[in-house]
Structure 1
Amino acid sequence: MKKIGFLVLVNLVFFNAVSQNLTVKDSIIIDTVQNIKFNYKQLIIPGILIGYGFWGIESGQIKSFNFQIREELTENIDRKVTIDDFSRYVPALSVYALNAFGVKGKNSMRDRSVILGTSLIIMTTTVFSLKSITHIERPDGSSDDSFPSGHTAVAFAGAEFLYQEYKDKSIWYGVAGYAVAAGTGIFRMYNNRHWLTDVAAGAGIGILSTKAAYWLNPYLTRKLFGTKESKSTSFISPIYDGKEFRVCFLKTF
């Protein structure tokens, strides 16, 4: 029964990439620079993931499940792998790589960069705040900032970014991005750095951060640039990887 629950949780992540391709009604239209659609149904998947993560903080049954998953994933580990330190960036970077190879996304370079920067700011602030409040010990006992998983949040924020930019081209871009993001989360558990609940919450936060960035983008674009598009754009965004802060500066022409 517990394994079934784990599979259902993983399937929710992949369902998010597929379900967003469907036309959804009951949306509220917000008029800004251009119309954007906020749909409460888009909150369901990230809400379930985040809720499961928080539930695990207090639930003895979920904590027991965390230990069971850790034992199954780490029992035959010979050495740790570091692929998750790099794979977390792959979905987001894929957007720029695809554009460089002539596969154009939904937004201009300026707008997609503002969206990504906004998503990273929301995600980083949320992850760091929760880590400083919850003080959950990591599975390997190295520190007490396990919840939520920052690596996973970055990966899923990028996966949602990739999906949103290319969902009109093919849903498989998004599916591929979510597969890489899910792999990042699994490796965080495999390396004994995070619990399943940390990874679930990180995934939900990452997805929701990017969704929020898209909802906010028309408003931010109007405030930052007016109605006229500039050929040059620059922004500074903080990145938190669970250990240290970094500042990312990006300038587009």
Structure 2
Amino acid sequence: MNKIIMVLFLFLSVLKVNGQNASIDSTKNRENIQFKYKSLIIPTVLIGYGVVGLMSPTLKDINNSVKNEFREHDDKKVSLDDYTQYSPFLSVYALNALGIHGKNNFKDRTIVLATAYLIMGGSVNIIKKTSKVTRPDGSDTRSFPSGHTATAFMGAEFLHQEYKDISDWYGITGYVVAAGTGLFRMSNEKHWLTDVATGAGIGILSTKIAYWVQPLIKKTIFKEKYKRNGIVMPFYNGREYGLGLSVTF
């Protein structure tokens, strides 16, 4: 079962659906907002799996099987997930600091990240408080969905969107790390498989929404206006002198 789950997560980490390239380049194409419904397939399936799992006896049995499989083969608890959840989105800033520039400048990508984090964090906390699912280790009733996994997949999608025009491997690496975070959460008996799947879906969807609404946020909150460039030059037409003014909006 361990191998099956690992293959499932690695498959999701590299799977690309037509339309996943829906994005906004706020620096180059401020008015180019592209919304493609196909890009919602993966996060919708992941979230749907988790929601159905709240009531489905079959999916609950799978949850218990996965828990028992991890307990049987791996009795060591590793806290790497507390750090790996942040690795994908921090990588974006690290790569830019190293001179490998992504799609957006510092301000624009920070707006996207902050928006995604607010959407993701708000959604996860509201669902945790209302669903009240007990964790596999019985420590509390805030198991569904996995916040660590949501943060990791939010960052993985962020990394993918920023660097997909340079190389797909940046995004693939981010998704592998995010998948590993989910596996650690199950291995540490902090989350069920359905928790992790829903967290992954929420994380991906939050980042996609953040890119779609970024131009609106910049226009309404930051009051960004188009730059005006002007130049003043002296002229002489053979009879008189003067100054010429040229302004580009």
With the shorter chain as reference, the TM-score category is 0.7 to 0.9
Larger Rg: 2
Amino acid corresponding to residue 12 of structure 2 in structure 1: V
2:90 matched to 1:85?
no
One-letter amino acid of the counterpart of residue 85, structure 2? R
RMSD value, Cα: 2.4
Residue in structure 2 matched with residue 99 of structure 1 by the alignment: 96
Distance 1:136 1:15, change over 3 A: same
Aligned equivalents of 2:215, 2:92: Cα separation in 1: 20
Unpaired runs of 5+ residues, structure 1, are: 231-253
What corresponds to 1:69 in structure 2? 66
Mapped to 2, the partners of 1:22 and 1:48 lie a distance apart of 14
Distance 1:4 1:180 in 2: 17
Alignment counterpart, residue 183 of structure 1, candidates 174, 180, 185: 180
Which residue number corresponds to residue 224 of structure 1?
221
Structure 1 residues 119 and 229, CA gap change in structure 2 (3 angstroms): farther
CA distance in structure 2 between the aligned counterparts of 1:22 and 1:54, rounded to whole angstroms: 23
Instruction: State whether residues 21 and 171 of structure 1, in contact with CA within 8 Å, keep that contact through their aligned partners in structure 2.
Output: no
Instruction: Map 1:170-249 onto structure 2 (within 5 A).
Output: 170-228=167-225
Q: Is the 8 A contact 1:33 1:222 kept in 2?
A: no
Aligned residues: 222
Q: Tell me whether 1:45 sits opposite 2:42 in the alignment.
A: yes
Query: Shift of residue 72 of structure 1?
Result: 0.8
Q: Deviations over 1:128-187 (max 9, x none)?
A: 010011100000000001000000000000000000000000000000000000000000
Which AA in structure 2 matches 1:176?
Answer: T
Query: What's the offset of the Cα at 1:73?
Result: 1.2
2:17 paired residue number: 19
CA shift in 2, pair 1:9/1:49, >3 Å: farther
Instruction: Give the conservation status (yes or no) of the 8 Å contact 1:33–1:227.
Output: no
Mapped pair 1:168 → 2:165:
yes
Separation (CA, whole Å) in 1 of partners of 2:7 and 2:88? 23
Instruction: Extract unaligned runs of 5+ from structure 2.
Output: 24-28, 228-249
Q: Deviations over 1:18-46 (max 9, x none)?
A: 3368778xx9xxxx942111100011000
1:137 and 1:11 map into 2 onto residues whose CA distance is 27
Aligned pair partner of 2:149 in 149, 152, 167? 152
Question: What do residues 98-133 of structure 1 show as CA deviations (whole Å, max 9, x unaligned)?
Answer: 000000000110000000000000000100010011
CA distance in 1, matches of 2:20, 2:144: 32
Cα gap change, 1:96 to 1:23, in 2 (>3 Å)? closer
Q: Distance in 2 between matches of 1:210 and 1:22?
A: 12
Give the TM-score normalised by structure 2.
0.83
Superposition deviation, residue 224 in structure 1? 2.2
Equivalent residue number for residue 243 of structure 2: none
CA distance in 2, matches of 1:192, 1:113: 33
User: In structure 1, how many angstroms separate the alpha carbons of the residues matched to 2:131 and 2:21?
Assistant: 38
